[in-house]
Every structure is written in C-alpha cells, then in structure tokens.
Structure 1
Amino acid sequence: MYFERVQFSYAHGGPFGGTPEGMNRIPEKRMNDNTECTDEQLMISLCDGDDSALEKIVKRYQNDVFRFCLHYLGEMETAREISQETFLRVFTARDRFDATRPFRPWMLCIARNMCLNIIKRNKVAPMDSLEGLEEASSAASPAWYPATEHPLENVLADERRRALLRLVYELPEDARELLMMRYFEQLSAREIAEVLETTEGAVRTRTHRALNQLRERCVGKLDFLS
C-alpha cells in the first residue's frame, strides 16, 4: 500500500518550523513539480489514482496538523502519531471529499475528531497540558504579538504571549478551542465553522463571547493589553 511507505520528516529534527523535507519514495506517477496545485486539485488527482498528490499534501500540511493536534493533546509523541493517522484517514476517505468545498477545514475536522476520541478514551481534559500548549503556540504566528526586528522587543513579546496563553488556558474548553483556531492557527470564521461542523454565525458569536471572557481575565493582569 502506498501510504505505508510514506515517511514523515520534520525540518531540523523537530516537528515545527521550516520546510518539511518530504518523503523518500518517488511515486510511479508524479504531477509537474513546477505546477502549484490547490489542495482541492490535489485531492481530485489523488482520487484519480495519482499517489504523488498525497505526498504533496503531506509535505504541505504535516507541520500544521502536528501543531493542531498538539494544541488538543499536549503531548508531542501522541500528537505526532495522530497527525500521521490523520493523513491516513485523508487517504482512505479521499472518495468522500467534496472538491467544491475547502480541503483544509475538512482535514482539520478529521484531526480534531481523532484528538477528541483519544481524549475521551484516555479520560483526560482537552488541551490539558499547558506545557504542550505553549510549545504548540510557539510554532504558530499569533496575531496578538507579531515578531519584530528588535531582539528585546521579541523577548518581551514572547513573555507576553506566554502570559496571555496561560490566561487562555484558564478559559472553558470551548472558548480555548475557538481562540486556538482563530488566533493561534489563524483560521477564518468560515474555516472554523467547517471544522466544528456548525454555522459561521455561531462561530462569530462564540468567538466574541470567548474574547470577552479573556478580556475579563486580563483586567489587572496584563497591562500591556490595554
């Protein structure tokens, strides 16, 4: 089976950052490497029997899916296993993908459901490890504190990010999940709605409520947010 020979590799010996090195196997069929296909085009090609499409999807998203799973599971090895299992599910469910809808939320919905199954089976709270959550968020690009060219400002921004993350961690589970997707993974309201299988309006309402909860916790604690 093709997928069993796919090897996941993470840049610089870790699952975060950089460009994934890709898989060792050279597929029998390969699309033109000079052509940048959309996710949906890759899925159509995969359904048509082009195994190289799966390789491109894995290379494009393996770090993102790993980080997404780590937000939920808080443990690196388990997150790595579930992220790899997610791509296996993408492969086995390829014929059920609707190419008229965006691929990324569909893939993340698979990852989320698998994470929740692990959480339910192990009877642990989602995002239960703050250390894992901090590690996951350090690989993302939070919209709250973008990097600057000044080293000291970057250090302060990192401290603020960690302090803010601890406050996010104190929020109810559903609020944490929404803020993680919106600000740490930078998904749009529409994409979040696809992942959570709800409406875009519901996502906007719940995100607004979650932000209000976060603001209340920030009062008197994070002066730099004012």
Structure 2
Amino acid sequence: MSDLSGSSVIMPEQEVSEVTDNDLITDVMDGDQDAYAELVHRYEKKLARTIYRMVGSVETAEDLTQDTFLKAYGRLDRFDNSKRFSPWLFQIGVNTAIDWLRRNRKRSHYSLQEMSGGEGTFDVADADPQPKYDLSQEVHFVLHQIPVQYRTVLMLRDLEGFPCSEVAAILQRREPTIRWRLLKAREMFRELWERREKESGEST
C-alpha cells in the first residue's frame, strides 16, 4: 500500500485482514452497535438497488431498505452464523418488497417517465451519466413488464450476481425451480426488449 507521496506503507497485520460479516454479527451480539453500522454500510446500496428494481420508487425503496435492516437487527439471534449473511439479509429485503407490492398492487405499475430519477440515488456518479442513465431507465421499464416472481430471480442472478444456489436460499425455493424461472425470465426480457426496440424504431 502507498501513501499520497508514493512511498510504501506497511500496514499492521490486523488491519490487512478483513473482518468478515459473521465476525461483525458476533460483535453485534456482544453489544457492539458500530459493528451493525458496518454491516449496513456494506449492503445498503446493493439492497436498496435491488428493492428499487422491484418497486420502482426511490423513496419507497429507501423506506423498505431501512425497514429490512431493522427487521434483520431484530432477528440476528435467529441467524445461523455458519452461513453467509448476505443471502439471509436479502431474503428479508425481498420478502419485505413483495409484501409491499401485494399491498400496493395499483401503485406498482410505473411508466418510464415515472421511473426517471431513480437508480442514480444508489449508483456512483459517472463522468457522462446520460447514456448509462437512459439505458438504465429502459431496463427498468422492461423489467417491470415481467411478473415479479420471474423479475426477482432475474435481478438477483443477472443484475446483482448472486449464484443460483443463493437465489434459491433468498427466495426459499428449490434450485431447479430458480433455474427454470431464470430461463423464462431471460426469454421474457429478450422478447420485451426486442419488441420495445422495434416499436421505438417504427416511431422514429
């Protein structure tokens, strides 16, 4: 590691080794509140982005993300510390978002214009964000045409990078079911995307 002057700096061994999520959970259970703040810092943006892709509203995604972390904190004593924390956390977050969608069915259909101004809240700024932003909004619009049970699998696997085994754990489904839904979701997305491109071409 180098400092700003370019000279080499040798860090102490305890600072080089990264503290794991499970180490932090142990610390939380021992009364260290700062340890939970670190867990929130590690996963807040990714969780908020996933929930936003489900509900289509930045404000709602922020509220549901906060609610998820509160729920997770209250359930930490039930967490199996031999397993990974992130799938467990995302299981709570996805279920929280699905519950919101069920309660707000009439509010869960968004136009492209209504979804503008969204995901940028959760992403790092780009030197020229407009092309990326436009594409992002198109992706969101198409995603929201896909039924939620398929959309969620597609987002967790292809957009957030969870392996199918962890998507299965998050959604509490068998892995073959997840793989089948992923296949169908990809087909739906491709068909909807191609249809949108064709309509856009015809309109211009």
Partner Cα separation in structure 2 for residue 133 and residue 91 of structure 1: 32
8 Å CA contact retained: 2:116, 2:137: no
Partner Cα separation in structure 2 for residue 91 and residue 114 of structure 1: 14
Tell me if 1:209 matches 2:184. yes
**Counterpart secondary structure, 1:88:** helix
What's the offset of the Cα at 1:117?
A: 2.2
Q: What residue in structure 2 maps to residue 192 of structure 1?
A: 167
Q: CA RMSD in A?
A: 3.1
What's the offset of the Cα at 1:73?
A: 2.2
Q: What residue in structure 1 maps to residue 60 of structure 2?
A: 78
Range with bigger deviation, 122-131 or 35-44: 122-131
**Counterpart secondary structure, 2:103:** helix
Partner Cα separation in structure 2 for residue 222 and residue 129 of structure 1: 16
Partner Cα separation in structure 1 for residue 39 and residue 130 of structure 2: 34
Q: What residue in structure 2 maps to residue 109 of structure 1?
A: 91
List runs of 5+ in structure 1 lacking aligned partners. Answer: 1-31, 142-146
8 Å CA contact retained: 1:73, 1:115: yes
Q: What residue in structure 2 maps to residue 22 of structure 1?
A: none
Could you report, residue by residue, the CA deviation over 1:179-202 in whole angstroms, capped at 9, with x for unpaired residues?
222222222212211110112221
Decide which of 146, 154, 166 is 1:171's aligned counterpart.
146
- Higher percent of residues as helix: 2
Q: What residue in structure 1 maps to residue 50 of structure 2?
A: 68
What's the offset of the Cα at 1:128?
A: 4.3
Q: CA 1:167–1:70 in 2, change beyond 3 Å: closer, same or farther?
A: closer
Q: Which has the larger radius of gyration?
A: 2
Partner Cα separation in structure 2 for residue 137 and residue 89 of structure 1: 26
Q: What residue in structure 1 maps to residue 5 of structure 2?
A: none
TM score, norm. by length of structure 1? 0.66
Relative contact order (C-alpha < 8 Å, sep 6+): which is higher?
A: 2
List runs of 5+ in structure 2 lacking aligned partners. Answer: 1-13, 199-204
8 Å CA contact retained: 2:64, 2:97: yes
Q: CA 1:59–1:127 in 2, change beyond 3 Å: closer, same or farther?
A: farther
Partner Cα separation in structure 2 for residue 53 and residue 197 of structure 1: 27
What's the offset of the Cα at 1:35?
A: 4.6
Partner Cα separation in structure 2 for residue 104 and residue 45 of structure 1: 17
Tell me if 1:39 matches 2:21. yes
Partner Cα separation in structure 2 for residue 206 and residue 165 of structure 1: 19
Identity, % of aligned pairs?
27
8 Å CA contact retained: 1:71, 1:133: no
Q: CA 1:87–1:158 in 2, change beyond 3 Å: closer, same or farther?
A: closer
TM score, norm. by length of structure 2? 0.73
